Every structure is written in C-alpha cells, then in structure tokens.
Chain A
Amino acid sequence: MNIDIVQHSPALILAVPLLFAFLTPLVDRISEKGRDALFFLGLIIMAFFVAIMAYEVYTVGEWSYVFGGGTVTPTGADSSFFRILFVADGVSAMASITLTISAIGAAIYSYTFMKDETGLNKFNTLFFLMVAGVNGMVLTGDLFNLFVWFEVASVSSAALIAFKTYEGKAVEAALKYMIISVIGGLFFLLSIGFLYGQYGVLNYQLLAENITGTNLDKIALTILVVVLALKAGAVPLHFIIPDAYSMAPGSVTAVLVVASQAGLWVLFRVVFTLYGVAVNTLTIGWIVIVLGILSMFIGVTMALVQKTVKRLMAYHAISQTGYMLLGVGVGLAVLGKPEMGLYGRTAMEGGVFHIINHAMYKGLLFLTAGAIIFKTGIRKLDDLGGLGHSMKWTMGFFIIGALAIAGIPPFNGFASKLMIYKSVYRFNPLLSIIAMVVSILTLASFVKVFHSIFMGPKDEDIYDTGDVPKPMLAGMTILAAFVILFSLFPGAVVSNIVEPAVEALGVI
C-alpha cells in the first residue's frame, strides 16, 4: 500500500484532532493521566502533519486535495463538481502554523491552569474540536465546507468560554457568543445560497472563474464581508469580543484569538481569490480600510477606560485586528493597478505578517493575565498591585508582550507595523498617522496596566511568594520564544512564510 503522507497531510491535519477529540472521553474512563497524555500527543501529531504540509507548500508549491481520491477535473463524472476540496497553499500553511504554536503553548499552560477543574475530559474534547474547526476553516477550498467548520469552531468555542462559570457571567458571555455566531452562520449560509443559485458551484476555484459582478453577487459579498468581520471582531461588530475573551479561561482565550483570525483569513480569501477584480476593488478596499480604522481607534480608546485586565486586552485585540484590516485593505484597494507593485504588496505583507505576530504576542499576554488571575484570584485592576516582587517571570513575559504589541523596536510588532505605516502612508497619509497615534495609545494603555499590576510595594492582602507553576511558565515561554524569534529575523519570516501567503491570495 503506497500512502503518500505528504499529499494526504491536509486531511490528516483535520483527522487527528477529530479522532483524539472522540478518543478523549473513552480514555478518560480508564485513566486520567492517559487523557492528559493524549492531549499533548494529539497536538504534537497534528503539529507534525502541519510541518509536513508547510514544508511541502514552501518547497514544491500549492496543491488541492480532493476527498475521495482521484484527480481534480472540472467536468466529468468524477469531477471536482461534487467533491469536497481542501487547498494547501501559503494561506493554509501560515494559518495552521499560527494555530499549532498557540494551541501547543495553551495546552502546556492549561495542564496546571485547569488542574483543579472537574470535567476536564470535556475540556480536552472541546479544545480538539475547536482546533479542528479553525484548521478546517483555513484549509478548506469549498464554501459549504467552510460553513460546516465555521459552525464547529463556533459551537466548541462557545462551550469553552462557559467552562469556568464565574457565577454565571461566563455562561452569559457564551450564550451571547453562541447566538451571534449562529446568526452570523445563517447569514453566511444565505450568501452561499445566493452564489450557488447563480453559478451552481461551491468551490473557490470554479466560483472565482465564473463570478461576475451582478447585483446579487454584491449583496452576497456584503453579507460575507460583514459576517466574517463579525467573526474577526471588527468595529462595529466587535461587541461580543470583550465579553467572550474576558470570561473564557486563560488558555482558551489564547486560541480564541487565532479562531477569530481564521475569520480574517477567510475574509481575505473571499475578497481576493473569490471576487478579485470582479467587483470594484477600490470601493471594497475602502470599506475594509474604514472598518480597520474604526477598529483601531475605537478599540484602543475603549481599552483606556477598562478596569478589568482581560477585557482591556480583548479591546486591544480588536485594535490590532484593525491594523490587519488596514494593511490588507490598502492592498485590496490597489488590486489590479500598477501601484500594487509599488506599495500595495508591502501593505499586504505587513497586514498578513501582523496576523501571526498578533497571535504570538496576544496569546502571551492573555496567558500572563490568566497567570495573574490564577495566582491572586483578582480580576479587577483596582485591587491588584505590587505583584512584581513575587511574579518575576510573569512580569518579564508581560513586558515582552506589552512592548511587542505597542510596536516598540526591536520587537516583531514594530517590524509589521513599520511595513504597514510606510506603505499606507503612500496610499493616504492620514491613515498612517491615525495608525501611529493608535500605537502610542496602545503603549499608554499597557504602561497603565503594567504599573497597576506589577509596580508598587508588596500588597499584604495578595502577596504570595513565588511565581506560577512551571507548566504555565513553560507555555508562556514557548510563545515568548516565538515572539523573540520573529523579532530577530523578521526578514526571513516575511520572505518564507508571509510571501507565499500573499501570493496564494492571488496578489502577484
């Protein structure tokens, strides 16, 4: 039997978490240690397959994987017409790498973070399902399959948000998240219906060849853009993000960030690959840019007045999503025009690089916030203080994450933000100035948080010698190591990981 693992790796990336998700309750009946071991084993096997797929994409090129075997042909009895397609290209590789790093860091972290909880078999199952759903969203090449994975990711994320109930507040947040995701999914289905009704095909490739810019297409595009912006957390659809991120347990929030970014990846695929130049890209580009600017500004100003640590960080996540939308929106606005080669491509690279940077440093920040809540049990900023005396490692990681998010050289946030500033300036100077002001306000906000939590004399009420347990530190170290790695070699990351993604989106 000749099984080509490399060719099958997209399917295996999805099959492994699903298999382990359903194995976990069974193994849990036998032994608890087995369940924990299965957790890490599943993620490591998935990481192995992601590495294989990424290596193949970066060395050989992209390919489409048809479920059920056979080759992809547009017509005929065995055609791709009736099959589910997975696409392994730069976008899938980059998104899967981001998700894997975040998931492994969060999994090692939750070994001690969730130790005292009951129902951990359900936590592991839901975690695997969420990972599978997010991977599915970026790997798939078919619109209806995308809807399926969208729903899988939403349901499992909602259940994970409600995991630690916090006297019902987390359950409320999860309920709201569930309703918003379901309604978003139904609108998504509606727009898929519009496209299917007109063209009769559902996969990206065939649809992209056939699509024209009829009015129904524009309606479908509007609904798709708004639903995916809802998933990603762009203003004015961002209201669910602070509730969900602040109530979820620490390790889950780090992966929820990547799940929201999956919405962003799908948005880029829809706008670039699916529609491309069929609609007026200047208009849709400016719409994305306006969403980005609103997200950046409203996100950071709301973050300045927050009194709870995780809610503040969630608003910063919204603000950073604005940077990604800004960079890619500028690229979209000049799609097909000669300025693309001049600055549009760099703007896109900056926006896309910001996605992986953001997942790394935001995940790190959420894990440090979770560590503080784990150690002291206090969520509000007013009651915290003087933790720098005891939690030195957590403070170090917080400093790395805070400087990275504020865009201070030499961290990776600076690298991607510099690319965005300089290229967006050539498109329209005002946007770049707003982006820089938002960056300064981000720094201001994190200085406030740092001072409130870590500085000051030892507070006798909450002082407790020692830092958080080692597995939590190990999880944070993984993400911090990637932040520092990307800070030291941003050029290498951009040319090896970000450029294939940008080229896969159809931008030459």
Chain B
Amino acid sequence: MSALAYQLVPVSGWNPLVLILLALIVGVLVYMIYRLGNHSYKETKYKREPFLSGNSPADDPDSLHIGGSNLYWGFTRALKRYFEPLVRGHTGLLNDYLYWFVITVVVIMVVLYFV
C-alpha cells in the first residue's frame, strides 16, 4: 500500500478493540447522564399519544404520520428552477434514452479528437 494510503486509512484507527473500548466509555457516560434524570415518570393511558388538541388519534389516523413526498418539500420547492427541468427531462420514453446515447457519443468523440 502506498505511503499516502496508510495515512488515509491507518489500520490502527480501525482496530476493533479500540472501538469496543470507546463504546464502553461512551456507554458509561450515557449511564451517568441517565442517572441525572427525573425518576418520577409514571405511565398513564394517554401520555404517549400525539397531541391533537385532546382528540383521540383513532378519529383521524391520517394526521399521525407525515412521510413520503411531504418531507423535504421545502427544499424541492426552493430549488424549483433546478428540479423542474431535471424531472421533466426524465421522460421515460425510449426514444429520448437513445437520443442521449447518440449525443454523448458525439460529444465525447469531439472532445477526444480536438483535445
């Protein structure tokens, strides 16, 4: 292995024994922080349900979980000018796939010839 590679991924850094020791130390710290917590927690019937202004979750099951395409909508909306042409370019038509193929061949040929 070249010298630079040894600096990049030094074998000793990934020594499993070191990792296990680190995990144990972190575990002890976590336990100490846990001991500082409040021990008067009591589980009651509604305590862990999501807060829906006092309504029961069974009345409106769709409101319980936000997932799928609703997440990151802000990110996609903000970068609309990049995403819309990109998604539109993925048409799904076989003809377009082959046009891209031909265009790539031409571009690379031109680059290889002149450079």
B90 CB–A CB distance under 8 Å? yes
Stretch at the interface among A149-157, A218-226, A259-267: A218-226
CB distance from B66 to the nearest CB of A (A): 8
* A residues apposed to B, CB below 8 Å: 176, 179-180, 183-184, 187, 215, 218-219, 221-223, 225-226, 229-230, 236-237, 239-240, 243, 279-280, 283-284, 287, 298, 301-302, 304-305, 307, 341-343, 345-346, 349, 380-386, 410, 415, 418-419, 422-423, 444, 448, 451-453, 455-457, 459-460, 488-492, 494-495, 499
Interface string of B99-115 (1 = CB under 8 A from A): 01101110011011101
Q: Write the chain B residue with the least CB distance to A179.
A: B94
Residues on B with beta carbons closer than 8 Å to the beta carbon of A491 = 1, 9-11, 14
3 nearest A-B pairs in the assembled complex, by CB-CB distance: A452-B67, A456-B65, A382-B68
Is A346 a contact of B4 with CB atoms below 8 Å?
Answer: yes
> Given A283-B111, A448-B71, 15 other A-B contacts at CB below 8 A?
A183-B98, A218-B109, A236-B104, A237-B104, A239-B96, A305-B69, A305-B76, A305-B83, A345-B5, A381-B68, A385-B67, A448-B72, A452-B68, A456-B67, A457-B65
Q: Cβ of B65: which chain A residues have Cβ within 8 Å of it?
A: 385-386, 455-457, 459
Q: Is the CB of B8 within 8 A of A180?
A: no
Does B25 reach chain A (CB closer than 8 Å)?
A: no
Question: A426 to chain B: closest CB distance in Å?
Answer: 9
Verify if B40 is at the interface (C-beta below 8 Å from A).
no
Instruction: Give Cα A291–Cα B45 distance, bound, in whole angstroms.
Output: 57
Q: Which among A187, A302, A459, A494 is the interface contact of B5 at CB below 8 angstroms?
A: A494
Chain A nearest Cβ from B63, distance in angstroms: 11
Given known A-B contacts A222-B105, A279-B112, A301 and B83 have beta carbons under 8 A apart: yes
Whole-angstrom distance between the alpha carbons of A341 and B50 in the complex? Answer: 59
Q: Which residues on B are within 8 Å of A, measured CB to CB?
A: 1-2, 4-5, 8-11, 14, 16, 19, 50, 57, 61, 64-65, 67-72, 75-76, 82-83, 86-87, 90, 92, 94, 96-98, 100-101, 103-105, 108-109, 111-113, 115
CB distance from B45 to the nearest CB of A (A): 15
- Chain B residues within 8 Å of A304, by CB: 72, 75-76
Are B2's CB and A226's CB within 8 A? no
A282 to chain B, nearest CB (A): 8
- Residues of the B chain whose Cβ atoms lie less than 8 Å from the Cβ of A346: 2, 4-5, 8
A230–B115 Cα distance when bound, in Å, is 23
A223 partner, pick from B75, B92, B105, beta carbons under 8 A: B105
